[in-house]
Structure formats: C-alpha cells, structure tokens
Amino acid sequence: MADSRRLVKYAGNLKKEISFIIDRKVSNPEKGFITINAVRVSPDLKIASIYYTVLGDEGQKEKSQKVLEKSKGFIRNELKPSIKSRWLPELRFFYDDTIEHAHKINTLINKIHEDADSKAGE
C-alpha cells in the first residue's frame, strides 16, 4: 500500500513522463495535439488512469484515442528507464471532457440569466 503523498508524487512523475513520450516519441501523425490533464494511480500502483484532451473535432478525438490505444505498449516500455518502481502500471486512457462539460453548464447559466433579465425588463 502506498500513502497518499507517494501516490501523488508517483502520478505526477507518470504524467510528466507520459506527456513527454506522447509528444516526442509517439511518431504517428494521426495522434494530433494531445494534452495529459491528470493521472490517477490505484493504491497498489498497478493501474494508471490517464485523462487527456485533444485539440480538434470529434474525428480527431477518435484518431487520437486509436493512436493511444495502439501505443500503450510502446509508452509503457518507454517509461521503464525513468520510473523507479518494481512494476509499471497498466495504462488506461480516458478522454477528459470536464472542460466541455463546464462550458455547457456555463452556457446554460448565462442563458438563464439572460432569460431572467429579459423577463424583468418586460
């Protein structure tokens, strides 16, 4: 079992290294511009959930997802020299839609305020 400080530090190291590997070493041109937003590691350090965003439309998101899935083994292998641990975690990639979700909520709130202002002006 790892304490929370160790988990946070380990996840931070993974985030930095995975970002570098995807940016500099994954050479598939269909990957697009991928940003790693967060990495969460299971308490036993065996699973790393990697949350990312992609610059582009839905088609680009799908291409990037496929590239990441195909590159899992390569990325994990590239982590070996830089991650000092008994084993490397299984990598699981998830598209992070929190920014899009926050934008939708913000748009709805603005619409409610506009509707309230227009009714108050009547």
Mean pLDDT estimate for the chain: 89
Indicate whether this model's pTM tops 0.85: no
pLDDT at 1 over 70: no
d(CA 29, CA 88): 26
Q: Is residue 26 part of a domain?
A: yes
Q: Which contacts (CB < 8 Å, 24+ apart) does range 77-86 have? A: 78/17, 78/21, 78/25, 79/14, 79/17, 79/18, 79/21, 82/13, 82/17, 83/13, 83/14, 83/17, 85/10, 85/45
Q: What counts of helices (H) and strands (E) characterise the chain?
A: 3, 3
Q: Is residue 117 part of a domain?
A: no
Predicted confidence (pLDDT) per residue in 16-74, tens digit? 999 999 999 999 989 999 999 999 999 998 999 999 999 988 999 999 999 999 999 99
Q: Is residue 82 part of a domain?
A: yes
- pLDDT reported for residue 121: 63
Q: Is residue 66 part of a domain?
A: yes
Structural domain boundaries enclosing 56: 4-96
CATH number at residue 55: 3.30.300.20
Q: Is residue 54 part of a domain?
A: yes
Q: Is residue 48 part of a domain?
A: yes
Q: Is residue 121 part of a domain?
A: no
- pLDDT reported for residue 106: 87
Structural domains of the chain, count? 1
- pLDDT reported for residue 122: 62
Task: For residue 111, give the 3-state DSSP assignment.
Answer: helix
